[in-house]
Structure formats: C-alpha cells, structure tokens
C-alpha cells in the first residue's frame, strides 16, 4: 500500500468520525430543543400551581417548633412483637435519634478541602464518633415531681404533643387532655 492511499484512508476515517460527532451533537441539540418545547407547552397548559399557604410546609414548621420549644408531650416505648408499649412517660419535645449531632460530622481530609468527597469523619465534642445508623432514640421524660430525666430506647418510640395514655383494652393511644402545642391552620378566606 502506498503512502497516498494510507493518507487518504486516514483522512476519510477522520472525516467520518468528525461527521458522526457532528451528527451526534446535532441529535443531542434536536432532542434538547424538543424537550424544551415540551416543557414550555406543559407549563403553558398546566402551570405549576402557586399557593399562598401550604399545609405540608406548616406541618414541618409546627413539628420543628414543638421540638425546639420543648412542648409538653407524651412518649410511648414499644418492643417489636408487643402490641402494647413497655413504658410511657410525660416528655418534653420530640424524640431525638441517637445519630443526631450538634457539630458537623465531617471535616476536610486536607487543608485545601476543595472537593466534596475529600472529607473524613470527625469526633463529636464528647470525644467519640457517632454511629451512622442506629435505631436508638433519646427522650427527655418528666417524673412525678416534675424533674427531667433522659430515657434511651433501641425500639420504636411514639410521641404525641399532649397528655395521653395507653388503652390496654383497645391497644390504642387515647389523648386525655388539650394539645400542648399550637399548630397553625390556613388563614381564613375572608382574611385574604
């Protein structure tokens, strides 16, 4: 085979690869344009709704307020396989998973810390490393004299923002007092 034939074949191969790349880019551009047209059409005919108030957002706010403000609650502690709780107590706020941390659990692996994956675990302020997954839960209970004490449980914990008791006959929780935390409802239509 002579040099001109080899050079011609190489030039043809480069041209074919270039054309394929252009066609691929053109296909990607066409697909993107079609997707944008679909999106514009759907947004025009079915716009994303706008809400002046959102119950799901308010639920998250109310739950955070109850937990942060230490509202009076009642907690029930369950063991897998048992219909009834093995323990209950008047409590403060909401249960806290034992994996919750007050400090950032990660630190840069080097001084630069420029990459998100360039991190390592760091110990908690108490000098230990927390588990990344656990079923453990902390609850601040209140005894008969009003003193707080910490209860730790590895099973399920059910907490309600109010005075409650367990009805052993029906195997269900019964709220026995007024709610202890205010929850917010949608503003009235007249107020708008």
Domain chopping of the chain, boundaries? 1-43, 55-98+134-185, 100-132
Residue with tokens 């054309």: 19
Q: How far apart are CA 76 and CA 173, in angstroms?
A: 9
User: Given a cut of 60, is residue 125 above it in pLDDT?
Assistant: yes
pLDDT tens digits along 37-85: 999 999 999 998 899 999 899 988 888 888 888 889 999 999 999 999 9
* Distance in angstroms between the alpha carbons of the first and the last residue of the chain: 86
pLDDT at residue number 83: 92
Share of the chain above pLDDT 90, in %: 38
Among 125, 49, 136, which Cα is nearest to 98's? 136
Among 175, 187, 189, which Cα is nearest to 74's? 175
Q: How far apart are CA 136 and CA 156, in angstroms?
A: 9
Among 189, 184, 188, 192, which Cα is nearest to 56's? 184
The DSSP output letter for 173 is E
When comparing pLDDT for 114 and 119, which is higher? Answer: 119
pLDDT at residue number 111: 63
Q: How far apart are CA 113 and CA 103, in angstroms?
A: 18
Label residue 186 by pLDDT band (50, 70, 90). Answer: confident
0.85 surpassed by pTM? no
User: Given a cut of 60, is residue 96 above it in pLDDT?
Assistant: yes
Label residue 127 by pLDDT band (50, 70, 90). Answer: confident
pLDDT tens digits along 149-159: 999 999 899 99
User: Given a cut of 70, is residue 24 above it in pLDDT?
Assistant: no
When comparing pLDDT for 154 and 25, which is higher? Answer: 154
Q: How far apart are CA 172 and CA 178, in angstroms?
A: 18
Question: How big is the chain, counted in residues?
Answer: 192
Burial class (CB in 10 A: 0-12, 13-18, 19+), 157: buried
pLDDT at residue number 151: 94
Mean pLDDT of the chain: 81
Label residue 181 by pLDDT band (50, 70, 90). Answer: confident
User: Given a cut of 80, is residue 143 above it in pLDDT?
Assistant: yes
Q: Which residues contact 189 (CB under 8 A, 6 or more apart)?
A: none
Which two three-digit tokens encode residue 67? 């937990």
163 sits in the region (left: phi over 0; alpha: psi -120 to 50; else beta) called: beta
Beta strands in 32-191 (DSSP E): 72-78, 87-97, 106-108, 119-121, 137-142, 148-153, 156-160, 162-167, 172-179
């Amino acid at each position: 085979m002579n040099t001109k034939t080899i050079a011609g074949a190489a030039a043809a191969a480069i041209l074919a690869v270039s054309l394929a790349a252009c066609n691929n880019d053109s296909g990607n551009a066409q697909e993107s344009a079609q997707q944008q047209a679909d999106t514009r059409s759907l947004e025009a005919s079915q716009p994303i709704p706008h809400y002046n108030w959102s119950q799901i957002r308010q639920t998250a706010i109310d739950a955070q307020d109850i937990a942060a403000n230490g509202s009076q609650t009642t907690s029930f502690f369950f063991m897998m396989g048992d219909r009834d709780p093995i323990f209950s107590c008047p409590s403060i706020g909401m249960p806290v998973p034992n994996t919750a941390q007050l400090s950032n659990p990660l630190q840069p692996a080097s001084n630069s810390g420029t990459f998100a994956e360039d991190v390592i675990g760091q110990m908690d302020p108490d000098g230990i490393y927390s588990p990344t997954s656990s079923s453990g839960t902390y609850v601040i209970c209140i005894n008969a004299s009003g003193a707080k004490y910490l209860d730790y449980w590895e099973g399920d914990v059910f907490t309600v923002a109010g005075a409650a008791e367990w009805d052993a006959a029906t195997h269900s929780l019964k709220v026995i007092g007024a709610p202890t935390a205010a929850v917010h409802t949608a503003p009235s239509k007249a107020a708008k």
